[in-house]
Structure 1
């Protein structure tokens, strides 16, 4: 009697057992659809009972989820053909992947990765790595790490490759070594000179005539001044680099900046045949550290006087400031301010231009040794401009003078709020 009453209880016009049946069918259908979607959207790896690390693909052509790797990753077959490449690898290396994998060092590493066997049943195969330089299309130093993926059959074996470009790190290492070598040489030269003259004065002081003694002392004074300039430049460069990541916040009027620079360099142009011109647009504002920007312009003018001037020829330097064109592919942003130093001096060969901002690099063509500087001025300029978000471009040709352009980003003017 109780079972009969349950069978005939209505639920929205249908018996309760009919509604429960339809609900069960719907839930089963939703679960099946969700499982099918998951299998389609995420590549599945089967981990069979395989003695070497348990990693194997369920099918030879099953994709690996290499897009999840935070780096440039390739999946190769046993012949070195690319089966998969993640987006990072395509973006960073593009069409160069084929040339990279054809390099003899890469082929040898691939063969070693295919032959490598894990030491224990639960261990992964060892990583085989190699580093080499690829000369085309541009020189690049590359590092490859390869690990074989075990498979039940040898022809199904795959190799996972992680690529990294170490060109920049190698350049930085070379620059550090060059810096230590050049700094040691530059410091040793005046020290050796001072040491030699001190020994000469000590051993022959009683018999040395006054003229020779004075000559030695003058040379020692010049060498000590050179040593002091070099140390001061190195200390200033280290201070600039210490806060290079901090953008300046002060707003500077370019007219005030130029007035300070003119006050510093005007006495250098009192000689006959040496003139300084100023070309300045009105109402130019930059966001800068005033002292550092004064140092930039002083270094550029000093280089013009030291390396551009020729005896027997009239020499002129033009210091200018103007608004940059709204559209100019040379600079990272539209607009901005251009500061520059232009001279009509001897100029320089084009092969010098890419290296001018390297530490201790000096243009010695037709320059007397006494006029040669420390080779740190333009390096200081570069680091100051890096802090300001600026750029430096140098244009020069023998007999046609040199133009140094400093670009600084535009200043965004914030309008005052209406009360």
Structure 2
């Protein structure tokens, strides 16, 4: 049969477009069948839901919105590597995060969090907590709370960590215990002395000679004065702390303040070889409680006279007031006023300086036991300056004297903070 005769035979099958549609449908059907089979063969990750908490955890590889959490928060994998860290954690701990997580206590808590199984009505794993002290780069007491995120396979396990620095709280607890111990000791010493001499006077009766009796009474008077002075200092310190959060509102002229201080201390400098110098700039004002600032300067001058003066050596104390430099990294604000007491006395070693404002801390190697103070003067100074928004810096070296520098903020700054 010829080709032209074949072309003349009519074709009764489907059109071309219908055939193409049929083939496309077959391909789509096979693709859907294969996808369904794969979904049945490969388990899909479960997204845990906690209606009671309003919480829905994301898929295992999805990031958590930890920036919304208050505090320092990390997200770790099962090996303890950091997957996420919020801004607070990076700011507060920085490069120390790695050292913190490598601590044995942190590793043990991580293992416990990974092993913990969900429990309770909400289906959440329990929180695993630990507290430990990290000695480097500086001693810090840290508390970690860890909770594993459920719903993922073991190799995708993640742990949420909340970190807090409890160093300050631990220091405050130690200071509180030290205060109770020191206060008890300081009160017990004069009381024991009084009790002993009272017993001696009773036992001696009329047979005790008048000289001995008078000596006992003098010592008892000294001890009772010491006890009264200690109690007065403790009560004053308590009053200062009671309103430490309230900034003073009165504007005080520094020249008037210095005149009051000078009237109080001038009689102490009448002895030969002991002089008081003044260096006060004009037109200085501070926002302060005048009585408290007088107490600050009196305490500093009293310390200079008691602890700085060498016997049979010329001794000079300078009381000064001046404007602070416009820019000085030692102070939290630019400007302000500097008040200070400087002496040319014996000075002290550097290891004493950080502890001078601690309650009952005394440089015992500088004075005789009978001349030692209560150890509360500079603690009172620190609390007064905290109330005023001020700062205290002490510089000293053996044989070179001591300088106590008080910085007070500009009047305008304090005023804006109190409004």
TM-score (norm: length of structure 2): 0.85
Q: Show the 5 A alignment for 1:379-398.
A: 379-398=379-398
Q: In the alignment, does 2:166 pair up with 1:166? A: yes
Aligned twin of 1:275: 275
Per-residue deviation, 1:313: 0.3
1:382-403 superposed Cα distances (whole Å, 9 cap, x missing partner): 1111111111111100000001
Aligned length: 368
CA shift at 1:363, angstroms? 0.8
The 1:121–1:218 alpha-carbon spacing in structure 2 relative to 1, beyond 3 Å, is closer
Is this contact kept in 1: 2:60–2:152, CA < 8 A?
no
State yes or no: 1:84 paired with 2:87. no
Identify if the C-alpha distance between structure 1 residues 137 and 209 changes in structure 2 by more than 3 Å, giving closer, same or farther. same
Q: What residue is the counterpart of 1:184 in the other structure?
A: 184
The equivalent of 1:262 in structure 2 is 262
Q: Helix, strand or coil for the counterpart of 2:312?
A: coil
Q: Equivalents in 2 of 1:407, 1:58: separation in Å?
A: 53
SS at match of 1:64: coil
- 1:65 Cα deviation after fit: 1.4
Residues 353-368 of structure 1 aligned to structure 2 (within 5 Å): 353-368=353-368
* Contact 2:77–2:159 (8 Å) recurs in 1: yes
Distance 1:295 1:59 in 2: 64
Which aligned pairs between 1:195-214 and structure 2 lie closer than 5 A?
A: 195-214=195-214
**Radius of gyration: which is bigger?**
2
Kept after mapping to 1: 8 A contact 2:48/2:150: no
Partner residue, 1:307: 307
Between the aligned partners of 2:208 and 2:309, the Cα distance in structure 1 is 39
In the TM superposition, residue 54 of structure 1 has moved relative to its aligned partner by 12
CA distance in 2, matches of 1:58, 1:408: 53
- What per-residue deviation string (whole Å, max 9, x for no partner) do you get for residues 109-134 of structure 1? 00111111134574321111000011
Q: Which runs of 4+ in 1 moved over 4 A?
A: 53-58
* Partner residue, 2:417: none
1:28-39 map, 5 Å: none
Match of 1:70 in 2: 70
Q: Point out where structure 2 has 5 or more consecutive residues left out of the alignment.
A: 1-44, 414-419
Residue number in structure 2 paired with 1:325:
325
1:270-305 Cα deviation digits (max 9, x unpaired): 111111111111111111111001000000000000
1:3-37 C-alpha deviation (Å, 9 max, x unpaired): xxxxxxxxxxxxxxxxxxxxxxxxxxxxxxxxxxx
Contact 1:46 1:56 in 2 (8 A): no
CA positional deviation for 1:48: 4.5
For structure 1, list consecutive stretches of 5 or more residues without a partner in the other structure. Answer: 1-44, 414-419
Normalised to the residue count of structure 1, the TM-score between the two structures is 0.85
- Offset at 1:137? 1.3
Identify the range of structure 1 (111-120 vs 196-205) with the bigger mean alpha-carbon deviation.
Answer: 111-120
Q: Distance in 1 between matches of 2:412 and 2:119?
A: 63
Q: Match for residue 334 of structure 1?
A: 334
Matched ranges for 1:396-415 at <5 A: 396-412=396-412
Alignment of 1:42-53 (within 5 A): 47-48=47-48
